[in-house]
Amino acid sequence: MLTAPEPRQRRGRGGAKGFEIAQKVMQDGKITVEFDEAGGTWKALGKYGAWFESAVGIHTRDICEPFHDAWKDVSDVEKRTIQDRMLVFFYGTFCIVYTIVNNAF
């Protein structure tokens, strides 16, 4: 069972987005995100596009060491772990999430 992390408050900013994402998933199930496939950018679009992009950053910072200069330097195991976590929270075909996680950075 998923449990939501405690929200962190920062000065001058709202609570962490990760808390909102986890709350939404626990309440309503996975979140559907649209991607710009036609434009070839694969950017997350729509109501939850920013949440998807934030989640990629949250999981990347949690899993990867901060010393990587480029996404290609991140191991395949770490990329796969990020991908697996993203599939827990968001709907999308494996192909789309795989493309985003492996090529977006």
What's this model's pTM, rounded to 2 decimal places?
Answer: 0.65
Angstrom distances, CA of residue 79 to CA of 1, 64, 65, 104: 23, 9, 12, 11
Choose the weakest-confidence range: 44-48, 57-61, 88-92: 88-92
**pLDDT band at residue 95 under the 50/70/90 scheme:** very low
39's tokens: 């434009």
Residue-wise pLDDT for 15-44, tens only, equals: 566 788 888 888 888 888 888 878 777 788
pLDDT digits (tens, 9 = 90+) for 70-81: 888 889 899 889
Question: In angstroms, rounded to a whole number, what is the distance separating the alpha carbons of residues 77 and 97?
Answer: 15
